Amino acid sequence: MTEDANAVESLWEEVRELSFGTSVERLDSPPSPLDFLRRFVSANKPCIISNAVSHWPALSLWPDHNYLTRSLSDSLVSLHLTPDGRADSLVPLSSGSPCFASAHVERVPFPRALQFVLDSSSKSEEASTRDPSVAYLQQQNDCFREEYSNLSGDCDPHIAWATEALGCPPEAVNLWIGNHLSETSFHKDHYENLYAVVSGEKHFLLLPPTDVYRMYIRDYPAAHYSYDLEGGKFRLEMEEPARFVPWCSVNPYPSPETKKVEVSKFPMYFNGPKPFHCTVRAGDILYLPSMWFHHVRQSPDERGCTIAVNYWYDMQFDIKYAYFNFLQSIHHRPRSSRSRLEDLDEDADEDEDE
């Protein structure tokens, strides 16, 4: 099997040398549809376009929370609540083994929902004296066109050059309003993604689909948080009947205390080529190609929010997708992973003894 493991590791290196380089390319202005299709979509290669949405009224209007609450005074929006800002993430059960936990979702009037986001942003400072939830306004089901239709005039209904390149209108447009605690764990989508930041900054970690083994995708039992708004308490409920969700096992930002153990559990992630890291600022668009693994954190604007709109376009299920499935289906063992793991376990044991 060592031969195949070498082949997989060579693939990680070669695709970077041939095509992706070491950082995400930044364009000064929107590309032509042909250029975008040729250099990025066809090559399944990300890019950031500076000033891609600087002309949107949203950029000056939305940082003003009075404007938002006025425009959406009667709108019911989907509020996602978690104890720590991490929805759709792995949470250890009392048994110690992790489950895949979804947020508690509640439809509330926008003004109240926004207040949740703002209140929970100060949570870390004020500890647990107040509401213990972290709120994230999002719903990956075309929520911008459904729940936030009153804001539709503030941005373009689609990204014109992308729509022309991809040959279809977006399948879904989603709005995201969160604070510095909101974090999205590593996952991939079966969509071409145009991700526009309106206020604050988004920090992405990106890994190409060639690196699928480095994500340690495993099946986890599905659970969801249930939150008592009055009592201010979360309960984690396993889905019944049990359902298993394949999800990435890697947390790219382990705490200093757990780092050694995490590195020993996921050596291909931590010891392989660095993930692509990029920051998307207000006015920028990130082209996040289909099937790329991404992890997202955010920095708020001065009023405490990060606001973004993303456009999901249908992807082509072509030879690239067939190659990806092939890669995933071969029986891959990392080179000397066993001995590495054993070495690290021994180290860990020694540490505990000290």
**Structure token digits, residue 42:** 């066809």
Q: What are phi and psi of 21, to 5 degrees?
A: 70, -155
Q: Which is nearer to its own copies, 253 or 317 (CB)?
A: 317
Q: Which is nearer to its own copies, 165 or 198 (CB)?
A: 165
Q: Which is nearer to its own copies, 192 or 262 (CB)?
A: 192
Among 72, 103, 134, 166, binds its own copies (CB under 8 A): 166
Among 165, 198, 278, 282, binds its own copies (CB under 8 A): 165
Report in angstroms how near the CB of residue 313 gets to its own copies at its nearest: 12
For residues 306-341, one letter each, b for 16 or more C-beta atoms within 10 angstroms of the residue's C-beta and e for the rest, the string is bbbbbbbbbbeeeebbeebeebeeeebebbeeeebe
Report in angstroms how near the CB of residue 343 gets to its own copies at its nearest: 27
- DSSP element (H, E) containing 243: none
Among 92, 317, 333, 336, binds its own copies (CB under 8 A): 317
State how far the Cα of 295 lies from the Cα of 268, in Å rounded to an integer: 17
Residue 321 as a binder of its own copies (CB under 8 A): the answer is yes
Q: Which is nearer to its own copies, 16 or 281 (CB)?
A: 16
Among 230, 257, 318, 352, binds its own copies (CB under 8 A): 318
Interface stretch with its own copies, choices 94-102, 202-210, 248-256, 261-269 (CB under 8 A):
202-210
Pairing of strands 134-137, 76-82: antiparallel
Interface stretch with its own copies, choices 56-64, 139-147, 276-284, 327-335 (CB under 8 A):
327-335
Report in angstroms how near the CB of residue 324 gets to its own copies at its nearest: 8
For the chain, first and last CA: distance in Å? 37
State how far the Cα of 300 lies from the Cα of 23, in Å rounded to an integer: 24
Report in angstroms how near the CB of residue 298 gets to its own copies at its nearest: 28
Among 25, 33, 187, 260, binds its own copies (CB under 8 A): 33
Among 125, 127, 257, 319, binds its own copies (CB under 8 A): 319
Q: Which is nearer to its own copies, 39 or 65 (CB)?
A: 39
Residue 42 as a binder of its own copies (CB under 8 A): the answer is yes
Residue 210 as a binder of its own copies (CB under 8 A): the answer is yes
Residue 327 as a binder of its own copies (CB under 8 A): the answer is yes
Instruction: Spell out the residues 6+ positions from residue 58 whose beta carbon is closer than 8 angstroms to its own.
Output: 151, 154, 155, 198, 307, 309
Residue 160 as a binder of its own copies (CB under 8 A): the answer is no
Among 26, 38, 107, 233, binds its own copies (CB under 8 A): 38
Residue 8 as a binder of its own copies (CB under 8 A): the answer is yes
CB 24 within 8 A of CB 206: yes
Q: Which is nearer to its own copies, 33 or 157 (CB)?
A: 33
State how far the Cα of 113 lies from the Cα of 120, in Å rounded to an integer: 11
Q: Which is nearer to its own copies, 227 or 311 (CB)?
A: 311
Does residue 5 sit in helix, strand or coil?
A: helix
Among 73, 323, 343, 348, binds its own copies (CB under 8 A): 323
Q: Which is nearer to its own copies, 93 or 160 (CB)?
A: 160
Among 328, 208, 214, residue whose Cα is nearest residue 265: 214
Among 68, 192, 90, 187, residue whose Cα is nearest residue 137: 68
Instruction: Spell out the residues 6+ positions from residue 227 whose beta carbon is closer than 8 angstroms to its own.
Output: 81, 104, 106, 133, 233, 234, 235
| Helix locations, the chain, DSSP H | 2-15, 33-36, 58-61, 65-71, 110-121, 123-126, 143-146, 160-166, 259-265, 267-271, 319-329, 337-353
Residues forming beta bridges with residue 238, ordered by sequence position: 223
Output DSSP code: residue 230.
Answer: T
- Residues found near its own copies in the complex (CB under 8 A): 3-4, 6-8, 10-11, 14-15, 18-19, 33-35, 37-38, 41-45, 164-167, 208-210, 316-327, 329-331
